[in-house]
């Protein structure tokens, strides 16, 4: 069972990650935000591709669900931390982190 403390520790261990407030959540970003932690620290929203979102939601429906709005259709996915092992959390973080790297040719 993963926790908000696990998410923070694992996210900040990824190169270039910074932490900042984001509305009522805590955001972790490199070039762009790739995950936000809820205020109650029970869930997180991950920036996945729609394909990665579909796979996560199919293989672990108790842990992952699309955000039910336009953000969700872009791949933003809610993860229930208590339903994730630390390894599953780390995998989701790495996928989201990788997709949020600076684009080549842009500053």
CATH of the domain at 14: 3.90.1150.30
pLDDT, tens digit (0-9, with 9 covering 90-100), for 20-71 = 999 999 999 999 999 999 999 999 999 999 999 999 999 999 999 999 999 9
Total domains present in the chain: 1
What pTM, to 2 d.p., does this model score?
A: 0.93
Look at residues 107, 104, 93, 105 and name the one whose alpha carbon lies nearest to residue 33.
93
Among 83, 33, 48, CA closest to 63: 83
Q: Decide which of 25 and 106 is more confident.
A: 25
Establish if 73 belongs to a structural domain. yes
Tell me the average pLDDT of the chain.
Answer: 95
Q: How many CB atoms lie within 10 A of CB 104?
A: 5
Q: Is residue 104 part of a domain?
A: no
103 band by pLDDT with thresholds 50, 70 and 90: confident
Q: What is the pLDDT of residue 104?
A: 76
Query: Domain containing 61: what range?
Result: 4-99
Q: How far apart are CA 1 and CA 81, in angstroms?
A: 7
> Does 62 map to a domain?
yes
For residue 105, name the pLDDT band (cuts at 50, 70, 90). low
- Rounded to the nearest angstrom, the gap between the alpha carbon of residue 9 and the centroid of all alpha carbons in its chain is 13
Is residue 106 one of the residues assigned to a domain? no
Q: Tell me which long-range contacts 57-62 makes (C-beta under 8 A, separation of at least 24).
A: 60/84, 60/88
Does 63 map to a domain? yes
């Amino acid at each position: 069972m993963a926790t908000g403390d696990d998410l923070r520790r694992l996210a900040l261990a990824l190169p270039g990650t910074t932490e900042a407030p984001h509305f009522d959540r805590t955001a972790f970003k490199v070039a762009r935000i790739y995950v936000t932690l809820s205020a109650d620290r029970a869930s997180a929203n991950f920036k996945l591709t729609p394909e990665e979102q579909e796979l996560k939601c199919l293989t672990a429906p108790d842990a992952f669900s699309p955000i039910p709005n336009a953000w969700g259709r872009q791949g933003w996915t809610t993860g229930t931390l208590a339903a994730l092992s630390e390894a599953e959390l780390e995998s989701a973080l790495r996928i989201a982190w990788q997709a949020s790297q600076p684009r080549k040719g842009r500053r």
